[in-house]
Amino acid sequence: MEDKTKRGLTVKETSIDEKLKVKADKGMIHDMDGIGHWVPIRWYFSKNQFDLEKVSQYAQEMEKKYAELRELTCPDDD
Amino acid sequence: MSYAHPEVLVDTEWMSQNPPNENRKLVEVDYDPVNGYQKGHIKEASLIWWKRDINDPVTRDIISKRKFEELMSKNGIKADTEVILYGDFNNWFAAFVFWVFKIYGHENLKIMNGGRKKWELENREYTTEEPQIQQTKYVAQPPDEGLRAYLFDVSRALDKEDTVMVDVRSPAEFTGEITAPPEYPMEHAQRGGHIPGANNIPWGTAVNDADGTFKSVDDLKQNYEPKGVTPDKDVICYCRIGERSSHSWFVLKYLLGYPKVRNYDGSWTEWGNMIGNPVEK
C-alpha cells in the first residue's frame, strides 16, 4: 500500500510502522518550525498475515483522513 | 593560498582541543533541534533554534536589535566574546546566524568547518547535557543593512551590469522543475524558475562532498569567476528562504574576500510569490 501524497519523498529508512505493525518505507517531512517528522510512504503487507480486505480497509481509512483534511482546508461549496 | 579571512574558521580538531570557556562560547544552530541538538551536541554548546530564536515570531523578518541582545544575553555572550557556530544541514543555518550576528556588529565570530556532519563522521563525542549559562548584558550595534538585499534592491538590480545575482539552489529549482523538495511542503512558491539573469551556482559546489568542509581558495575562485561572479561586482545571493544563500554569502565575503556581497533572505519564497515579478526558466 502506498500513500500517493508522499510521492517524491526520499526513502530514508525501512522499519516497522508502529501504527499498522508492518514494515514500511519512511521519509521525513519538516513542519513550519523545521522539525522533521518520520512519515510512512509505503507499507509491505505480508500475504500470510493480511488479506486484501484488511489492506483495503487501511487504504479506505487513509483516504478518509485525507478527505477530511481537504474538507477542512478547501470545503466544497455544496 | 589561504582564505581572505582565515580567522572566521575553526576545524573540528581545534574545537575538541579548545573547549568553550568564559570568553569563548560554542553555539549549535539548528533547523531541526529535535533531531539535532536534543539528540546530542558538543559539550557546553548552547542552542539557537533558527525558526524560534533568530526569526521574528510574527512578521517574516530577522529578529530586532533588542531581541538579538536578549538572545545573546541568554546565551551568555558579551560583545567581545569569541563565538563559534556550527549546526545541522551542512552549517546552512549556522551561516544564516553568522550573517545576523554580523548585521548586529558582533566581531569575534567563527564557524566550525563541516558542522555536525564532520563532527559525526569523525565519531566525536556528543552530550545531551545542557550548559549552565550565566546571563550577560549585551549591547548590539545598529543593523548593518549593507549586508542584506531586499526585494527592492533585487528589482532595481535587474538591468544593472555591475550587479550579479547568484542563485544557489539546485538546478531543478533554478529551472522551475520544482519549487521545493517534498520534504519541505511549507516552502513552496506560486511560480517556479529564477530571477532573470541570475547565475545558478549551487551552494554545494563550494564544499567538499566527503565532509562538508569548504573547498580551497583556488577551487572556489574557479567555481565563481568563470560565471562572472567577480570581486569587482555587487553580488546578491539568494535561495529559497535565505539559509543556503547565507552559506554562499559567507564563502564569497569571508573566504574569497569579495568587498560587496549581500544576502537576499526573502529569496524565492518572496520573489516567486509576488504578483508581477519577472521570472525566467
Same domain, yes or no: B41 and B66: yes
Residues B81 and B21: their CA atoms lie apart, in Å, by 10
Residue contact B182–A32, C-beta within 8 A: no
Query: Domain residues for B154?
Result: 146-271
CA distance B158 to chain A (A): 31
Residue contact A30–B183, C-beta within 8 A: yes
Q: Which residue has the cell 550579479?
A: B164
CA distance A3 to chain B (A): 13
In a domain, A50, yes or no: yes
pLDDT at A78: 58
pLDDT at A75: 78
Residue contact B182–A35, C-beta within 8 A: no
In a domain, A63, yes or no: yes
pLDDT at B1: 81
Same domain, yes or no: B111 and B179: no
In a domain, A78, yes or no: no
Mean pLDDT of A33-62: 94
Same domain, yes or no: B62 and B135: yes
CA distance A35 to chain B (A): 5
Name the residue facing A36 among B35, B51, B52 (closest C-beta). B35
Residue contact A8–B52, C-beta within 8 A: no
**In a mutagenesis test of the A interface, which of B28, B29, B31, B32 is the best target, namely the one with the most A β-carbons within 10 Å?**
B32
Total number of domains in chain A: 1
In a domain, B93, yes or no: yes
Same domain, yes or no: B10 and B139: yes
User: Terminal CA-to-CA distance of chain B, rounded, Å?
Assistant: 37
CB within 8 Å of B237: residues ≥ 6 apart: B166, B168, B245, B246, B248, B249, B252, B261, B262, B263, B264
Mean pLDDT of A23-27: 97
Last residue of a domain, one of B115, B143, B171: B143
In a domain, B185, yes or no: yes
Supply the mean pLDDT for chain B: 97
Q: Which residues of B touch A35 (CB under 8 A)?
A: 32-35
In a domain, A14, yes or no: yes
Q: Which residues of A touch B49 (CB under 8 A)?
A: 34
Same domain, yes or no: B119 and B14: yes
In a domain, A41, yes or no: yes
Same domain, yes or no: B75 and B170: no
DSSP helix/strand/coil, B59: coil
Instruction: List the 11-50 stretch of A: residues with Cβ below 8 A of B.
Output: 27-36
CA distances from B7 to B11, B14, B109, B255 (A): 11, 13, 9, 10
Positions of chain B with pLDDT under 50? none
Ordered strands of the A36-44 beta sheet:
A13-17, A22-30, A36-44
Query: Domain residues for A60?
Result: 4-73
Same domain, yes or no: B122 and B213: no
User: Are B217 and B225 contacting, i.e. CB atoms less than 8 angstroms apart?
Assistant: no
User: How are beta strands B24-30 and B9-10 bridged, if at all?
Assistant: unpaired
Same domain, yes or no: B189 and B69: no
Same domain, yes or no: B136 and B155: no
Rounded (10°) CA dihedral A35, A39, A41, A43: 160
In a domain, B279, yes or no: no
In a domain, A38, yes or no: yes
pLDDT digits (tens, 9 = 90+) for B81-123: 999 999 999 999 999 999 999 999 999 999 999 999 999 999 9
Last residue of a domain, one of B143, B176, B195: B143
Residue contact A9–B52, C-beta within 8 A: no
User: Terminal CA-to-CA distance of chain A, rounded, Å?
Assistant: 32
Identified catalytic residue from B229, B236, B237, B239: B239
Give yes or no: B237 in active site.
no
In a domain, A57, yes or no: yes
Residue contact B185–A29, C-beta within 8 A: yes
pLDDT at A77 over 70: no
In a domain, B47, yes or no: yes
Same domain, yes or no: B139 and B252: no
Q: Which residues of B touch A6 (CB under 8 A)?
A: 182
Same domain, yes or no: B170 and B118: no
Query: Is pTM beyond 0.90 here?
Result: yes
CA distance A10 to chain B (A): 8
In a domain, A10, yes or no: yes
How large is the ipTM? 0.85
**In a mutagenesis test of the B interface, which of A28, A29, A35 is the best target, namely the one with the most B β-carbons within 10 Å?**
A35
Total number of domains in chain B: 2
Same domain, yes or no: B127 and B154: no
Size of the A and B interface in Cβ pairs below 8 Å = 39
Q: Which residues pair with B47 in a beta bridge?
A: B28
